[in-house]
């Protein structure tokens, strides 16, 4: 078991008003899983992903990562989880403007304490997988959306995580690039990495082995 | 790690340069004012110590008008002799000048520094060499002036050896050395310093100098009278002046020092206010700029957190970054102030350098640390409050 959520609730307080983003969610992500999460806007998909990735803590319920309760992890350990156990891919790519592609991919490796030589090896390997070897010295602004998302996936892949959590990874891409990116994620999944993809698009969800639908903070 | 650090500073070079510039300017202001204020304070203290407790009944004689330069030597000496004739009065002056020495000088440019003084002056200021030790004596019809040497001259002049001053032909005999003593630099006024006696020969005035016009004119501002200086004495001095068409004034040394203290205090007050204003204004500007850049680049924190940085790390990194910028600004302002002092007049350099190293530098270092803390706090608060999930939902 990589990630397991039991009866997870998440409340936000905005302007004195309580918003229940998750109303008791049960989900588990296993080794080799490929899960698509669909649902209308505001149904809680990003919230679910952020809790699975330890970016936020649940208001109620159990979250277990690597067969350990997240409450027992220190802040530092949670950060380390995101450096080498869980990786994100975002709709807006989330690349740092001032850094080159190489340096962007290097970020989680640096944080995981990977040595310089090994970092270089892994970055080149990941770039090779995504066909962006000749883009490594470019900055995000100098690349197309498709190329940027490849860099972002290379970053997620380079640290060899157990699971990649992708929040609408194709949301900003055209049909062609969507297809290519999903094929890449499928390949990654075939090598054993679990993949969770949040998406609005049926075509994207079709790549997954199973699909979960969310509505108003619940899995249906 | 250091490489990442430097790279990061380069990435944010606009912000870094602005913050560096403001910090440099404000630290330099602090350096400059702190050095001056503390130096003035120390100098006045040294002036008080130089004259000792007696400064309240110590007066300095100045001539403010001399009609006939040609007879000034005789005229001024006449007044001095009149003053000296009072048994309860101790009076004397000095002149710092240079002169050649027949036995040592190769040509007329080859000069030595002299402090010519009335022996009584040494007793007035309580010098380590007493006035009696400087009294001339006659041997086989020749007058010898006992002399004391300081600094490198200790290696040049031999003890008990006789030397001849080329200008006057006066014979001096080296009787000893002067160690770690201070001397007044020029006339006593608002800017007077007490300076270390560097390479110098201390000797009493040869007889011919006592009526020499140049010598007498340049000693009046340095002629000190101690003891029962009452109205009748003042009147007597004025009368001797009237007879020879010279106008004198007598100033109280204690008062001059107090006035100087008061002036220094006024300047210090103004400079401190100015320095604080500059510090606060530049710190506020820096905070505004830093926050603006943090706000613009906040997504970067979110991204870093999503890929394994903890908030603590980001805060530590940010503080170290500010600290290094401030450190650089400190070093640059230190070098600049050092250069400014080197450009000062020579006699000012040594005391200013000493104050700069021993007092201003530790003080400014404290200010640097304080500024770094002030600048860091808003950033720390901002980063602490920052929710990395904002980045996840901020779809551009
Ligand atoms: N920081 C927050 N403060 C207050 N409310 C929030 C916060 N984050 C999310 N919400 C609310 O929680 C609910 C779920 O949001 P979430 O972003 O998970 O939806 P989503 O399914 O990802 O939607 P979309 O498809 O538009 O991305 C929404 O109603 C949203 O307004
Ligand atoms: Mg979302």
> What's the pLDDT tens digit per position in B136-174?
999 898 999 999 999 889 888 989 999 999 888 899 999
CA A176–ligand 2 middle distance (angstroms): 23
pLDDT band at residue B72 using 50, 70 and 90 as cut-offs: confident
Lowest mean pLDDT among A111-120, B291-300, B327-336: B291-300
Residue A9 lies inside a defined structural domain of this protein: no
Domain shared by B15 and B132, yes or no: no
- Considering only CA atoms, which residue is closest to atom 22 of ligand 1? A46
Task: Enumerate the residues of chain A whose CB falls inside 8 A of the CB of residue B392.
Answer: 46, 49-50, 55, 88, 90, 167
Over chain A, what is the mean pLDDT?
A: 93
Residue A65 lies inside a defined structural domain of this protein: no
Q: Which residues of A27-63 are buried (b: 16+ CB within 10 A; e: fewer)?
A: bebeeebbbbbbbeeebbbbbbbbbbbbbbebeebeb
Residue B93 clears pLDDT 90, i.e. is over it: no
Least Cα distance to A215 among A53, A25, A33 occurs for A25
Task: Enumerate the residues of chain B whose CB falls inside 8 A of the CB of residue A91.
Answer: 395
Beta bridge partners of B203: B116, B147
Task: Enumerate the residues of chain B whose CB falls inside 8 A of the CB of residue A90.
Answer: 391-392
Residue B394 clears pLDDT 70, i.e. is over it: no
Contact A94 B303 (CB under 8 A): yes
Contact B307 A55 (CB under 8 A): no
Residues of chain A with pLDDT under 50: none
> What is residue A36's predicted lDDT score, i.e. its pLDDT?
96
Least Cα distance to B83 among B115, B59, B113 occurs for B59
Domain shared by B22 and B167, yes or no: no
Least Cα distance to A55 among B384, B380, B315, B392 occurs for B392
Residue A42 lies inside a defined structural domain of this protein: yes
Residue B190 clears pLDDT 70, i.e. is over it: no
Cβ atoms of residues A36 and A84 within 8 Å: no
Domain shared by B33 and B130, yes or no: no
Please state, in angstroms and rounded to a whole number, the distance separating the CA atoms of residues B392 and B303.
9
Q: A99 CB near a chain B CB, below 8 Å?
A: yes
Domain shared by B274 and B362, yes or no: yes
- Whether A47 lines ligand 1, by a CB cut-off of 6 Å, is yes
- Which of B217, B244, B271 is at the close of a domain? B244
Residue B71 clears pLDDT 90, i.e. is over it: no
Cβ atoms of residues B115 and B144 within 8 Å: no
Number of domains, chain B: 2
Domain shared by B85 and B233, yes or no: yes
User: Tell me, what DSSP letter sits at residue B256?
Assistant: H
Residue B205 lies inside a defined structural domain of this protein: yes
Quote the domain boundaries for residue B341.
2-47+259-395
Helical segments of chain B, H only: 2-11, 13-51, 72-84, 119-125, 153-156, 213-219, 231-243, 253-296, 298-306, 311-342, 346-355, 361-385, 389-393
Please name the residues in contact with A68: beta carbons below 8 A apart, sequence gap of 6 or more: none
Quote the domain boundaries for residue A94.
33-54+74-212
Please state, in angstroms and rounded to a whole number, the distance separating the CA atoms of residues B102 and A50.
95
Residue A64 lies inside a defined structural domain of this protein: no
Residue B152 lies inside a defined structural domain of this protein: yes
Cite the beta strand spans of A113-204 per DSSP E: 163-167, 194-198
> What is residue A49's predicted lDDT score, i.e. its pLDDT?
94
> What is residue B217's predicted lDDT score, i.e. its pLDDT?
75
Contact A92 B396 (CB under 8 A): yes
Higher pLDDT, A189 or B194: A189
- Whether A19 lines ligand 1, by a CB cut-off of 6 Å, is yes
Residue B61 lies inside a defined structural domain of this protein: no
pLDDT band at residue B396 using 50, 70 and 90 as cut-offs: very low
Domain shared by B113 and B234, yes or no: yes
Residue B134 lies inside a defined structural domain of this protein: yes
Q: In Å, how far from its chain's centre is CA B215?
A: 27
Higher pLDDT, B373 or B345: B373
Spell out which residues have Cβ within 5 A of ligand 2, the ion.
A 46
Lowest mean pLDDT among A68-72, A208-212, B187-191, B319-323: B187-191
Residue A88 lies inside a defined structural domain of this protein: yes
- Which of B244, B278, B294 is at the close of a domain? B244
Please state, in angstroms and rounded to a whole number, the distance separating the CA atoms of residues B66 and B76.
10
* Residue of A5, A43, A167, A217 with the most ligand 1 atoms within 8 Å of its CB, for mutation: A43
Tell me the nearest-neighbour CA distance from A10 into chain B, angstroms: 13
> What is residue B395's predicted lDDT score, i.e. its pLDDT?
54
Neighbours of B262 (CB within 10 A): 11
Please state, in angstroms and rounded to a whole number, the distance separating the CA atoms of residues B197 and B267.
28
Residue B104 clears pLDDT 90, i.e. is over it: no
Please state, in angstroms and rounded to a whole number, the distance separating the CA atoms of residues A85 and A81.
5
Atom of ligand 1 nearest to the CA of B395: 27
Q: What is the pTM of this model?
A: 0.82
Residue B264 lies inside a defined structural domain of this protein: yes
CA A22–ligand 1 middle distance (angstroms): 10
Domain shared by B111 and B218, yes or no: yes
- Which of B200, B221, B244 is at the close of a domain? B244
Domain shared by B77 and B222, yes or no: yes
Please state, in angstroms and rounded to a whole number, the distance separating the CA atoms of residues B149 and B151.
7
> What is residue B163's predicted lDDT score, i.e. its pLDDT?
93
> What is residue B195's predicted lDDT score, i.e. its pLDDT?
82
Domain shared by B221 and B300, yes or no: no
Over chain B, what is the mean pLDDT?
A: 88
CA A45–ligand 1 middle distance (angstroms): 8
Lowest mean pLDDT among A132-141, A183-192, B43-52, B311-320: B43-52
Domain shared by B197 and B78, yes or no: yes
Identify the CATH number of the domain in which residue A38 sits: 3.40.50.300
Residue B269 clears pLDDT 50, i.e. is over it: yes
Region B326-353: what's the mean pLDDT? 91
Share of chain A above pLDDT 90, in %: 91
Cβ atoms of residues B82 and B240 within 8 Å: yes
Domain shared by B12 and B79, yes or no: no
């Amino acid at each position: 078991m990589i990630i397991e959520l039991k009866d997870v609730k998440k409340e936000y307080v905005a302007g004195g008003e309580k918003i229940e983003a998750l109303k008791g969610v049960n989900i588990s992500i296993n080794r080799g899983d490929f899960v698509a999460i669909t649902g209308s806007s505001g149904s809680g998909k990003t919230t679910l992903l952020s809790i699975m990735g330890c970016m936020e803590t649940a208001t109620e319920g159990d979250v277990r990562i690597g067969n350990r309760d997240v409450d027992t992890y220190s802040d530092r350990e949670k950060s380390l989880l995101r450096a080498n156990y869980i990786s994100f891919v975002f709709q807006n790519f989330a690349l740092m403007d001032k850094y080159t592609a190489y340096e962007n991919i290097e970020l989680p490796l640096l944080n995981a304490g990977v040595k310089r030589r090994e970092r270089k090896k892994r970055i080149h390997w990941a770039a090779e997988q995504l066909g962006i070897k000749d883009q490594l010295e470019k900055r995000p602004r100098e690349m197309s959306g498709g190329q940027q998302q490849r860099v972002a996936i290379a970053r997620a892949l380079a640290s060899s995580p157990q699971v990649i959590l992708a929040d609408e990874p194709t949301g900003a891409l055209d049909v062609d690039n969507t297809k290519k990116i999903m094929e890449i994620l499928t390949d990654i999944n075939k090598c054993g990495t679990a993949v969770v993809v949040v998406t609005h698009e049926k075509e994207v969800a079709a790549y997954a082995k199973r699909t979960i639908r969310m509505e108003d903070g619940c899995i249906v | 790690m250091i490489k990442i650090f430097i790279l990061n500073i380069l990435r944010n070079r606009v912000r870094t340069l602005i913050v560096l510039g403001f910090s440099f300017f404000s630290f330099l202001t602090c350096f400059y004012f702190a050095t001056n204020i503390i130096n003035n304070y120390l100098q006045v203290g040294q002036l008080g110590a130089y004259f000792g407790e007696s400064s309240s009944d110590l007066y300095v004689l100045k001539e403010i008008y001399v009609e006939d330069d040609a007879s000034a030597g005789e005229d001024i000496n006449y007044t001095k002799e009149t003053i000296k004739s009072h048994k309860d009065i101790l009076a004397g002056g000095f002149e710092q000048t240079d002169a050649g020495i027949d036995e040592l000088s190769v040509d007329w440019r080859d000069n030595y520094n002299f402090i010519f003084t009335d022996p009584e002056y040494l007793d007035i200021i309580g010098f380590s060499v007493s006035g009696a030790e400087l009294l001339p004596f006659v041997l086989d019809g020749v007058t010898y002036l006992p002399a004391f040497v300081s600094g490198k001259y200790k290696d040049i002049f031999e003890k008990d050896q006789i030397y001849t001053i080329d200008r006057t032909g006066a014979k001096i005999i080296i009787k000893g050395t002067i160690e770690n003593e201070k001397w007044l630099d020029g006339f006593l006024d608002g800017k007077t310093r007490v300076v270390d006696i560097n390479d110098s020969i201390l000797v009493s005035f040869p007889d011919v100098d006592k009526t020499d016009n140049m010598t007498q004119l340049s000693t009046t501002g340095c002629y000190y009278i101690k003891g029962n200086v009452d109205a009748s004495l003042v009147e007597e001095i004025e009368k001797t002046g009237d007879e020879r068409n010279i106008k004198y004034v007598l100033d109280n040394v204690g008062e001059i020092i107090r006035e100087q203290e008061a002036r220094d205090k006024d300047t210090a007050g103004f400079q401190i206010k100015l320095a604080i204003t500059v510090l606060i204004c530049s710190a506020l500007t820096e905070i505004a700029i830093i926050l603006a850049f943090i706000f613009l680049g906040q997504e970067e924190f979110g991204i870093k957190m999503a890929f394994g940085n903890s908030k603590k790390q980001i805060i530590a990194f940010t503080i170290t970054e500010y600290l290094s910028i401030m450190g650089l600004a400190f070093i640059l302002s230190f070098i600049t102030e050092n250069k400014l002092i080197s450009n000062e007049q020579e006699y000012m350099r040594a005391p200013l350098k000493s104050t700069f190293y021993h007092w201003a530098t530790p003080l400014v270092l404290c200010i640097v640390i304080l500024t770094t803390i002030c600048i860091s706090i808003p950033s720390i608060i901002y980063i602490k409050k920052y929710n990395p999930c904002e980045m996840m939902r901020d779809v551009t």
